[in-house]
Structure formats: structure tokens, C-alpha cells
Amino acid sequence: MKRRDFLTKSAAASGVLFASLEVLAQQPASGNVVIERANSGKPHAGKVLAAIQPHSDDIPLFAAGTVAKLIKEGYTGHLIRVTNDDMGDALELGTRGTVGQHVLGNERDNQAVAKALGLQRVFDLNYSNHKMSGVSQMELQCRLIFLFRLLKVDTVICYDPWARYEENPDHYVTAHCVEAACWMAGREHDYPEQLAAGLELHAVKEKYYFSRDLTTIATNRIVDIKDTLDQKIASNIANVAKGPAGHRGSRLKAELAARNLQLPLLGNDDQTADREYIREFVLRRDREIGQRYGLEYAEEFHYIGPSSSYLDEYVKKNAVPLKK
Ligand SMILES: [Zn+2]
């Protein structure tokens, strides 16, 4: 495995940035795309990840393999769900369900998603589903800034705020608020009352942005999720109330049996049917991304990391002890 050094930064109180060196398993691919492979040990120990999703199935579908990988490599992670999924489905009931059933089913599923991915705390912000184009973005930014400071979030995984042709306002409103909150959380004049209450400034330095339509983001990071595929499948099985995964495999198996048919892929029991249905149909996108880069399964992102500063590099190279 080819490795390269990777610069990360931490902000000193003076505002001058000092670089520290970490060695991570990252491999430049074609152009400016970097392939992020599994790292041995816990290179991310001490860092905090926030997986942020408007709905209970967004992270499971598009980024669960990467979330589980980063947790496995040492991150402490938390799950923030922005809506209450009240316009979702109640698929496990076999009907469309009521608004109240959607809320309850997806709340339960979201907790199960966190458990499947090893995320510690869950925050449900409880905005109405499909209605986020009407919420106060200032309010949501303020709530996210509070959480980033409280949890000391270093890295976020969320929808790409600049992806095009995204039809769901919950996705793009959440993404834009996350992006704004990431840097404002490090600014002392933004919500100083939070600092007076005991929180500390804490800007978010790393972002993994995903999109439903991969042709609309500036892809520069491919994450190999081979080692966390089982957790990704488990997080998708957890979404039984909505989405394209959950128990669809076992339902298809039952429907086929009623017509005297079977798919060998789905095996002989419901658990196998749910798992293999997701592997074949839901993870088809991950398989196709992987094939483009010589991997089995992969997730695709626009990644923004800590930016290097000329001032930082200059001080590091040229600073000498003060003569007294
Ligand atoms: Zn969604």
C-alpha cells in the first residue's frame, strides 16, 4: 500500500497555525482524487466526528461505510438528525401509515442506525420533513454551532451544499447550514453567550460531502469501505420504516414464494434475504464507484481538509528562539 504524509493543523490561541504530521493510508489516484484506504491502529484517536443527516436513511445510504471506518480508526462519533421524518413511510406496517407513525418509526430506526455504526450520542433536531426551505437558517446554524462547540467536532459528514439538481430542500438547507456553522463555531463574536455559558470556540476543520447524484459534485475523495461493509448493511437494515432497504429483501422473498418463485440470492431465511438484497441492490452504487478505482466497494465525496497556510509554513521553517 502506497502511503503519503498528510498535514493536519491545530489552531493556537494566538491565531497562528502550527502543523503536525500524521501518516494516513491515502493514495493519490487519477487527477486530484485521493483513495482513502483502511488504516491500521487508531490514527484518529482523540478526534470527534458528527454524522449529520436530514432523514434517518441518508447516512446509511451514502456514507455509512466511511462513518464506520472513521469510528473504527479512533474517532468518537455522534449522529445529528435534522428532521423528524414525519413525511416518511411506515413500510413495516404494510401501509403508508400516519404522520405520527412515521415520526415514531423513524425515531426508533435512527437510534438503531447510530448503534450499528458505533455512534455515541443522537441529537434529533425535530424540524418538519420536506419543510426545511421554510425554517430559519439562522436558528439551525445557531443550533449546529452550539453542538459543534459542545461536542468539539473536528469532522463532519453531510450532503454537499453545492451539489446540483438536488430536489429535496431538507438536503440542501441542512448542507448549507452545516457548512456555515463549521467556520462560525470558531468565531468569538458569533453567539458569545454560548462562550459565557462555558463552551469554547471550536471550528470544524474537515468535511466529507456526499451527493445523491455523483455527476454533480467535485469528487476528490474515494473511501474504500470493504472492511466496514457489514456495518453499512446493518445500518440500512435498521431503516425499516422508510427507504429502499430495511426488510425489503424478506418481503420480496415472501412475495415471490406466494407466486411459487424464489431468488437463490435471497437465501433461506429473512435475515439472509434482507442482508443480501441490500448488498446486491442498495450497494450497487458503491460497487460501481469501487470498480472505477479498482476497489470492491467504495463511497465518493468532495472532501475539504485543513488548509495549509503560507504563514504557518513560514513560521515553522524560520522561527528561532528569542534572544534575551
Ligand atoms: Zn433524505
CA of 10 to the centre of ligand 1 (A): 33
CA of 104 to the centre of ligand 1 (A): 17
The region, left, alpha or beta by phi > 0 then psi within -120 to 50, assigned to residue 311 is alpha
CA of 83 to the centre of ligand 1 (A): 9
CA of 158 to the centre of ligand 1 (A): 11
Mean pLDDT score of the chain: 90
CA of 85 to the centre of ligand 1 (A): 9
CA of 24 to the centre of ligand 1 (A): 31
- Mean pLDDT, range 265-277, rounded to an integer: 97
**The sheet that has 221-224: what strands, in order across it?**
26-28, 34-36, 221-224, 298-304, 206-210, 155-159, 48-53, 76-83, 121-127
State the distance between the two ends of the chain, measured CA to CA, in whole angstroms.
49
Please give the domain boundaries of the chain with CATH numbers for all domains: 32-312 (3.40.50.10320)
Considering only CA atoms, which of 272, 209, 274, 270 is closest in space to residue 239?
Answer: 274
pLDDT at 11 over 60: no
pLDDT at 2: 38
CA of 236 to the centre of ligand 1 (A): 13
Helix 64-72 to helix 99-117 angle (10° resolution) is: 40
Q: Rounded to two decimals, what is the model's pTM?
A: 0.88
Positive or negative, the Cα torsion across 226, 227, 232, 237?
positive
pLDDT at 288: 97
Summarize pLDDT for 134-173 with one digit per residue, the tens: 999 999 999 999 999 999 999 999 999 999 999 999 999 9
Cβ atoms of 69 and 225 closer than 8 Å: yes
Summarize pLDDT for 177-235 with one digit per residue, the tens: 999 999 999 999 999 999 999 999 999 999 999 999 888 889 999 999 999 999 999 99
User: Cα–Cα distances in Å, from 106 out to 54, 92, 158, 294?
Assistant: 12, 11, 19, 36
Considering only CA atoms, which of 116, 131, 96 is closest in space to residue 241?
Answer: 96
CA of 170 to the centre of ligand 1 (A): 7
CA of 171 to the centre of ligand 1 (A): 6
CA of 277 to the centre of ligand 1 (A): 21
CA of 54 to the centre of ligand 1 (A): 6
Give the start-end residues of each E strand in the chain: 4-11, 17-24, 26-28, 34-36, 48-53, 76-83, 121-127, 155-159, 206-210, 221-224, 298-304
CA of 310 to the centre of ligand 1 (A): 39
Distance CA 264, CA 256 (A): 11
User: Cα–Cα distances in Å, from 72 out to 59, 185, 190, 192, 222?
Assistant: 16, 26, 34, 35, 17
